[in-house]
Amino acid sequence: MEEYVEAAIAAGLREIGFSDHIPMYWLPAEQRDPGIAMRMEELEEYVADVMRLRERYPEIPIRLGIEADYIPGQEEELVRILQPYPWDYVLGSVHFIGEWDFDNPARTARYAEWDISELYAKFFTLEAMAAQSGLFDVLAHVDLIKKFGHRPSHDLSRLYADIAETFARAEVAIELSTAGLRKPVREVYPSPGLLRECCLQGVPLVISSDAHHPSEVAWGFAGAVELARQAGYDRVVRFEGRQRFFEAL
């Protein structure tokens, strides 16, 4: 974790946030994959590690975050897990449609089982539910369903307008993540069209590299800032103690 902080300092970032994946709380313990998310017994240690880093690196604010999967029907359990810890922000994400972890490269064959238009409708229904749950400060990679390049043949403008309105009504922020550029789709999350619609609806924005390695900290940020400006954004939001503060882009 020290390497991530040192990469942030070297890149000139004004703060860094950690947001490791919450344990797979909705599954029986024996079905949880420790390669995807931390074990439940590691959660307290993770929080302690971030607090320790704050003491070691006083020259940069280090935010305590977590990325939590939204699973319908499991909201109370997620609240129970989150409640004891002093989060600066909680990211919400959708990686599962039923039991299918659709962003898993080993499970891409299942895309052939779907009409892609219906799949997109299902995914964005889950995104809307995540927003409306009130559990999250930021929604991560809000069009992750495109990760492997599957796209409907029809125009998505109406879908984008509807989901952006839902985000705005829920008063949840979204992230502009450069991680998509490192995936088969080769496009930021969200797509420029959805990003513009979110700006029109007044949805707050954070910029993220979703770094899974220290070399990815602040990866592609200059391009992301330009994309945000092109979409109409002139400010971003940051979080401290689950309170949000706006700053000029």
From start to end of 48-162, where are the E strands? Answer: 62-69, 89-93, 96-97, 100-101, 138-139
Q: Is the dihedral of CA 240, 244, 245, 248 positive or negative?
A: positive
Q: What is the pLDDT of residue 35?
A: 84
Q: Does an H or E element contain 152, and which?
A: none
Token pair in block for residue 94: 């959708």
Tell me yes or no: is domain 2-248 CATH 3.40.50.300: no
Tell me the average pLDDT across 93-101.
Answer: 96
pLDDT surpassing 90 at residue 180: yes
pLDDT surpassing 90 at residue 176: yes
pLDDT surpassing 90 at residue 34: no
Q: Sorting pLDDT into bands at 50, 70 and 90, what band is 70?
A: very high
Q: What is the pLDDT of residue 36?
A: 86
**Domain parsing of the chain, residue ranges:** 2-248
Q: How far is CA 104 from the centre of its chain?
A: 16
pLDDT surpassing 90 at residue 212: yes
Q: Sorting pLDDT into bands at 50, 70 and 90, what band is 127?
A: very high
Q: Does an H or E element contain 36, and which?
A: none
With CA atoms as reference, report the closest residue to 26 among 104, 86, 96, 92.
96
Tell me the average pLDDT across 204-215.
Answer: 97
pTM of the model: 0.96
